[in-house]
Amino acid sequence: MSFIKSIIQENETVSIVKYNGDDLEPNQVQHNEEVCRICFLDVETTGKNKQEDGIIELAMKVVSIHKETGEIVEVSNAYESMNDPGIPITEEASLINGITDNMISGKCIDWETVSNIIESSDLIVSHNASFDRAFMDRVLPLSQDKIWACTINNINWMERGFSNSKQELLCIWHGFYYDSHRAMTDVDALIHLVTHEEYSDNKPVLELIDNAYKPYYKISALHSPYETKDMLKSRNYYWNGIDKYWWKQIDLEETDSEIEWLKESVYEGPFLGRVEEITIVDKYKS
pLDDT at position 201 over 80 = yes
Amino acid at 276: E
pLDDT at position 51 over 70 = yes
pLDDT at 29: 61
pTM recorded for the entire structure: 0.87
Give the mean pLDDT of 178-186.
Answer: 90
pLDDT at 27: 74
pLDDT at 184: 95
- Reference 127, options 189, 77, 82, 173; nearest CA is 189
What are the start-end ranges of the H helices in 91-220? 91-97, 101-104, 111-119, 129-139, 167-173, 183-194, 204-212
Q: How confident is the model at residue 42 (pLDDT cuts 50, 70, 90)?
A: very high
What is residue 262's DSSP assignment?
Answer: I
**Least confident span in 17-26, 35-44, 123-132, 245-254:** 17-26
Q: How confident is the model at residue 168 (pLDDT cuts 50, 70, 90)?
A: very high
- Reference 184, options 34, 70, 21; nearest CA is 21
**Least confident span in 8-17, 152-161, 260-269:** 8-17
pLDDT digits over 92-109, tens only?
A: 999 999 999 999 999 999
pLDDT at 28: 65
If 0-12 CB within 10 Å is exposed, 13-18 middle and 19+ buried, where does residue 39 land? buried
Q: How confident is the model at residue 30 (pLDDT cuts 50, 70, 90)?
A: low
Amino acid at 240: N
pLDDT digits over 210-265, tens only?
A: 999 999 899 999 999 999 999 999 998 999 988 999 999 898 899 999 999 999 99
Please give the share of the chain, as a percent, with pLDDT higher than 90: 83
- Reference 278, options 241, 252, 257; nearest CA is 252
* Mean pLDDT across the chain: 93
Q: How confident is the model at residue 14 (pLDDT cuts 50, 70, 90)?
A: confident
Give the mean pLDDT of 30-45.
Answer: 89
